[in-house]
Amino acid sequence: MSGSEKCALARSFRIYMSLTRQDVEKIAQLARLSITEPELPVYVTSLSSIVDFVAELSRVDTGSVEPMAHPLEGQQQRLRPDVVVDHDNHEKYQRNAPSVQADLYVVPRVIE
């Protein structure tokens, strides 16, 4: 099955609606991304085709299957001794900052 056939199939099942202009505006707002007016219809089309494509998963029977979050599940999350190992590198790190004053990152005023 080709990608477009899969999309058509997913659409015919009508499980998920393709995205609207308003959907994409909302997603962009949640993701803190500015999208320009000419970009918007392009994203509506491409994101809809991706969403339709991955909707194929809904047809798989996953009844009692446990979700898998990590490829090496047998591994325990390690803990390390609670001692300070990091050094103060703020001067070096802040060289990459767009705006710094008195060792602090500067952003537009947030409290009136």
Partner 1 sequence: MLHTLSISELSAHLAARQVSSVELTRHFLARIERLNPALNAIITLTAEAALAAAAAADHRLAAGERGALLGIPVIHKDIFCTDGVRTSCGSRMLDNFIAPYDATVVARLKAAGAVMLGKANMDEFAMGSSNETSYYGSVKNPWDITRVPGGSSGGSAAATAARLAPYVTGTDTGGSIRQPAALTGVTGIKPTYGRVSRYGIVAFASSLDQAGVFAHSAADAAAVLEIMSGFDPLDSTSVDAPVPRYGAELAAPAAAGGPLAGLKIGLLREFFDGLEARNAALIHDALAVFRSLGATTREVSLPHLPLSVPTYYVVAPAECSSNLSRFDGVRFGYRCAQPKDLLDLYKRSRGEGFGAEVKRRIMTGTYVLSAGYFDAYYLKAQKVRRLITDDFRTAFESVDLVIGPTTPTPAFKLGAKLEDPVTMYLNDIYTIGANLAGLPGMSVPCGFVDDLPMGLQLIGPHFAEGKLLNAAHRFQQATDWHAHAPRGYE
Phi, psi of 104 (to 5 degrees): -115, 145
| Cβ-based neighbours of 15, under 8 Å, separated by 6 or more | 55, 58
CA–CA gap between residue 48 and residue 23 (Å, rounded): 10
Residue whose token pair is 């969403």: 51
CA–CA gap between residue 6 and residue 11 (Å, rounded): 8
Phi, psi of 21 (to 5 degrees): -55, -40
- Taking every pair of Cα atoms in the chain, the longest distance, rounded to a whole number of angstroms, is 60
Residue in 14, 22, 65, 102 binding partner 1, rule: CB under 8 A: 65
Task: Kindly state the number of chain residues that form the binding site for partner 1, as judged by CB under 8 A.
Answer: 57
Q: Looking at beta carbons only, is 75 or 101 nearer to partner 1?
A: 75
Residue in 14, 38, 72, 88 binding partner 1, rule: CB under 8 A: 72
Residue in 12, 31, 83, 102 binding partner 1, rule: CB under 8 A: 31
* Binding positions for partner 1, 86-105, rule CB under 8 A: 89, 92-93, 95-99, 105
Q: Is 17 in the site for partner 1 (CB under 8 A)?
A: no
**Shortest distance in whole angstroms from residue 8 CB to partner 1:** 12
Write out the two tokens for 31.
């993701």
Q: Which residues bind to partner 1, rule: CB under 8 A?
A: 3-4, 7, 16, 19, 23-24, 27-28, 30-36, 39, 42-43, 46-47, 49-51, 53-58, 60, 62, 65-72, 75, 77-78, 80, 89, 92-93, 95-99, 105, 107-110
